[in-house]
Amino acid sequence: PRNAARTAAGVVELAGVDVRELAEQYGTPLFVMDEQDFRARCREHAEAFGDPTLVHYASKAFLSVQIAKWVAEEGLSIDVCSGGELAIALRANFPAERIALHGNNKSVPELIAAVEAGVGGIVVDSYHEIARLDQIARERGVVQPVLIRVTVGVEAHTHEFIATAHEDQKFGFSLSSGDAAEAVRRVLKASGLKLVGLHSHIGSQIFDASGFEVAARRVIGLLADVRREHGEIDSLTTVDLGGGLGIAYTPDDDPPPPAELARQLHNIVQKECEHNGLGMPRIAVEPGRAIVGPGTVTVYEVGTIKDVELDGGARRRYVSVDGGMSDNIRTALYDAVYDCKLVSRAAEPEARAVLCRVVGKHCEAGDIVVRDCWLPDDLAPGDLVAIAATGAYCYSMASGYNRLPRPALAAVTDGEARLLLRRETEDDLFRLEV
Ligand code: LLP
């Protein structure tokens, strides 16, 4: 977070709040989110893209009612991809016209909920869905604005599980096979639907804009084809290029700022539009990680420490913390790289740094939170450690594995902390039992 600092005694303060007090008050593991950091990143994106409503916060990265209120207050739009995310946005009184619904298999009740709420966009992802949504809209006497999700055939340079624009995967209508053009025909024929945009999302945690450029070029190519086949479509104003801008997880990472991405996208879209004799569309994006990721840390308490001898005589120190893969599955799932720091005090002056592996408390050997990091050799049970940049896809992908309670999540701002989500309790475990 931008507002993190260490006191003279080496204690970390987040937005002016002592991390030890946070742990005392709310327990550990604890997610601590810097509200001003979150809001500043919303504004940075809004400025970069010239209009806050063109920036859709991808709520799958992290969502709670309070977060949806912050996003609404900052004037952004929001992307939801399930009935649950939609319900949370609506509970926050998020303006429906600034909500877009995604998903490759939205259920009929989800589509109905979105149409009845009057969401500003539904991103259609299959022929079945086009027919289904058309019927739902017509039955209600409304015309639903839709975008068509296009698979542009880009190989994004990121982990396989989070790359989404190569042909062989579940999302979107393929451009090269002609499915995307056929989807346009079907939407234009459907009296319950109004085509407002074309959408592409190439993947996540991307540092190199070239993938976005190829995607933009191909989407504009489709726009030109549509214009040739159908003439000018007044409602078709938007090209949404999805999310995916990467963030720094360790000091070695150097992601491009949103303004640079915005400038590159603008330039390439402009060039392609001029080339094809098209007017400039509105360029929308859907950042999740780049808004919520950097400003949150997870605070854990160290429980046990163990040295293990490796082949060749080297040793590895295992530092066990009180959470693990249930609050951060990213290391186990994507080989994600994080760093870990002692935050509740300074290390002793004579302490050496030792190579450590930070592991959780789950009954699974793959329950690794940080594969390799340097921690002082005086690290002891009871110390607090923190992992930076855990705001995106950690809480939102949290599970109850081994029946661990989901951690609490607190927001800090100007020296004050408040709980956004309380820790699960043992009673919560029994809530669903019949
Ligand atoms: N738009 C669409 C259509 C998406 O599918 C996604 C992410 C986003 C926007 C937001 O992408 P972002 O700006 O946050 O990269 N669980 C994985 C990431 C999966 C992303 C899924 N879709 C992770 O922890 O890295």
CB burial of residue 274 (10 Å; 0-12, 13-18, 19+): exposed
82 and 48, same domain (yes or no): yes
Nearest CA to ligand 1 atom 15: 244
Residue range 204-209: average pLDDT? Answer: 89
Find, among 293, 208, 272, 265, the residue nearest to 54 by Cα. Answer: 265
Considering 273, 363, 373, 394, which one is annotated as catalytic? 363
| pLDDT, tens digit, 9 for 90 and up, residues 264-313 | 999 999 999 999 999 999 999 999 999 999 999 999 999 999 999 988 98
3-state class (DSSP) for residue 417: strand
223 and 329, same domain (yes or no): no
| pLDDT, tens digit, 9 for 90 and up, residues 403-430 | 999 999 999 999 999 999 999 999 999 9
248 and 318, same domain (yes or no): no
**For residue 162, what pLDDT is reported?**
56
Q: Are 238 and 284 in contact (CB under 8 A)?
A: yes
Find, among 35, 207, 197, the residue nearest to 102 by Cα. Answer: 197
366 and 276, same domain (yes or no): no
| pLDDT, tens digit, 9 for 90 and up, residues 129-166 | 999 999 999 999 999 999 999 998 887 666 555 566 67
Distances (CA, A) of 239 to 96, 146, 178, 205, 332: 20, 12, 18, 21, 35
The total domain count for the chain is 2
Residue range 210-232: average pLDDT? Answer: 95
| pLDDT, tens digit, 9 for 90 and up, residues 117-127 | 999 999 999 99
251 and 300, same domain (yes or no): no
**High-pLDDT (> 90) share of the chain, %:** 91
308 and 170, same domain (yes or no): no
25 and 92, same domain (yes or no): no
Partners of residue 118 on adjacent β-strands: none
- For the record, the structure tokens of 24 come out as 């005392």
- Of 292, 319, 341, which residue sits at a domain end? 292
Domain extent at residue 387: 4-32+294-430
Residue 330 near ligand 1, beta carbon < 6 Å: yes
β-strand pairing of 282-284 with 416-421: unpaired
Task: Choose one of 67, 122, 169, 204 to mutate for the ligand 1 pocket test, by most ligand atoms within 8 angstroms of C-beta.
Answer: 204
Residue 125 near ligand 1, beta carbon < 6 Å: no
**High-pLDDT (> 70) share of the chain, %:** 97
321 and 384, same domain (yes or no): yes
Could you confirm whether 363 is annotated as catalytic? yes
177 and 275, same domain (yes or no): yes
Find, among 75, 204, 192, 176, the residue nearest to 124 by Cα. Answer: 192
**For residue 351, what pLDDT is reported?**
97
Query: Which residues, 6+ apart, have CB-to-CB distance to 139 below 8 Å?
Result: none
Q: What is the distance in A from the centroid of ligand 1 to the CA of 160? A: 13
Choice among 29-33, 91-95, 175-179, 194-198 with the minimum mean pLDDT: 175-179
Residue 242 near ligand 1, beta carbon < 6 Å: yes
**CA-based angle 255:258:264, to the nearest 5?**
95
Task: Give φ, ψ of 25 to 5 degrees.
Answer: -75, -40
Per the annotation, where are the binding residues for pyridoxal 5'-phosphate?
244, 286-289, 393
The CATH number given to whatever domain includes residue 116 is: 3.20.20.10
312 and 389, same domain (yes or no): yes
The CATH number given to whatever domain includes residue 313 is: 2.40.37.10
Number of helices followed by number of strands (H, E) in the chain? 12, 21
Q: What is the mean pLDDT of the chain?
A: 96
- Of 292, 327, 362, which residue sits at a domain end? 292
**For residue 185, what pLDDT is reported?**
98
266 and 326, same domain (yes or no): no
- Of 229, 263, 292, which residue sits at a domain end? 292
| pLDDT, tens digit, 9 for 90 and up, residues 58-98 | 999 999 999 999 999 999 999 999 999 999 999 999 999 99
What ipTM did this prediction achieve? 0.99
Partners of residue 353 on adjacent β-strands: 376
273 and 363, same domain (yes or no): no
**For residue 23, what pLDDT is reported?**
98
